[in-house]
Amino acid sequence: EVQLVESGGDLVQPGGSLRLSCAVSRFTVSSNYMSWVRQAPGKGLEWVSVIYSGGNTYYADSVKGRFTISRDNSKNTLYLQMNSLRVEDTAVYYCARNWGVISGWYFDLWGRGTLVTVSS
Amino acid sequence: QTVVTQEPSFSVSPGGTVTLTCGLSSGSVSTSYYPSWYQQTPGQAPRTLIYNTNTRSSGVPDRFSGSILGNKAALTITGAQADDESDYYCVLYMGSGISVFGGGTKLTVL
């Protein structure tokens, strides 16, 4: 069964850092585009970042310069390093497989999410 | 800054048809934005319904359909059922790796 399992969510103080992980089974992270999407409590979905199979990375303006997406091919795992966290970064963070424009640009597989709470 | 617009809420009677839309604060939505649609119930991860404007994801019933209507992308549910009561999100591709979600539509079936 294809699985994406996020972990690493926690309570952190404003200005702190956290690294989220997304362990993937049944397909290869490095051969796919992978995205992070977040959802603040009671709010809508917000795209955060994508890493292409070739390694290019892109970010939403709201996290640019603070968050870094990466992957470990040997562990088949996607990461999101989050620095200078703000209260408004509080959300459930989902990882998702992201197909490119040749396939129609969309997210087809989703994890269950991990909760990040930024509060003093 | 590009804003993707959706109706905040909509209601439909069981067995009825409803069309949710996805627009841009400035400009028209076309197939070049590769609109996709997602369904989410509280506490659950999103489920992919439609991609590339009108392609149904695997396992999605054919009562869900996608299209371009005028200057917006549209998701039509024909023969609405009680378990269609969910939040629905569209996503548009803005180029250079950037995806933008709409604010979501809360659909009530009553």
pLDDT by residue (tens digit) across A3-19? 999 999 999 999 999 99
Q: Are B84 and B109 in contact (CB under 8 A)?
A: yes
The mean per-residue pLDDT over the stretch A54-63 comes to: 97
Percent of chain A with pLDDT over 70: 100
CB pairs under 8 A between A and B: 72
**B45 — phi, psi (to 5°)?**
-70, 155
pLDDT band (50, 70, 90) for residue A102: confident
Q: Which of A94, A101, A112 shows the shortest C-beta gap to B93?
A: A101
| pLDDT, tens digit (0-9, with 9 covering 90-100), for A21-36 | 999 999 999 999 999 9
Pick among B29, B52, B99, B107 to test the A interface (most A CBs inside 10 A): B99
Q: Are A47 and A35 in contact (CB under 8 A)?
A: yes
The C-alpha of B50 sits at a distance from chain A's nearest C-alpha, in angstroms, of 9
The mean per-residue pLDDT over the stretch A102-110 comes to: 92
The answer to whether B98 contacts A60, with C-beta atoms less than 8 Å apart, is: yes
Cα A48–chain centre separation: 7
DSSP 8-class letter at A105: S
B45 chain-A contacts, CB cut-off 8 A: 94, 110-113
pLDDT band (50, 70, 90) for residue A1: confident
A36 chain-B contacts, CB cut-off 8 A: none
What average pLDDT does the structure give for chain A? 97
- Tell me how crowded residue A75 is: count the other CB atoms within 10 A of its CB: 12
Please indicate whether residue A109 or residue A100 has the higher confidence score (pLDDT): A109
Q: Which of A37, A46, A104 shows the shortest C-beta gap to B51?
A: A104
A88, pLDDT greater than 90: yes
The mean per-residue pLDDT over the stretch A50-70 comes to: 97
The C-alpha of B71 sits at a distance from chain A's nearest C-alpha, in angstroms, of 19
The C-alpha of A45 sits at a distance from chain B's nearest C-alpha, in angstroms, of 6
The type of residue at A20 is L
Q: CB under 8 Å to A73, separation ≥6 — which residues?
A: A28, A29, A30
Regions in chain B scoring below 50 on pLDDT: none
DSSP 8-class letter at B69: E
B48 chain-A contacts, CB cut-off 8 A: 106-108, 110
The type of residue at A43 is K
The answer to whether A110 contacts B40, with C-beta atoms less than 8 Å apart, is: no
Percent of chain A with pLDDT over 90: 94
Within chain A, residue ranges assigned H as helices are none
* Chain B interface includes A32 (CB < 8 A): no
**A60 — phi, psi (to 5°)?**
-70, 150
The C-alpha angle B47, B50, B53, rounded to 5 degrees, equals 150
The answer to whether B91 contacts A106, with C-beta atoms less than 8 Å apart, is: yes
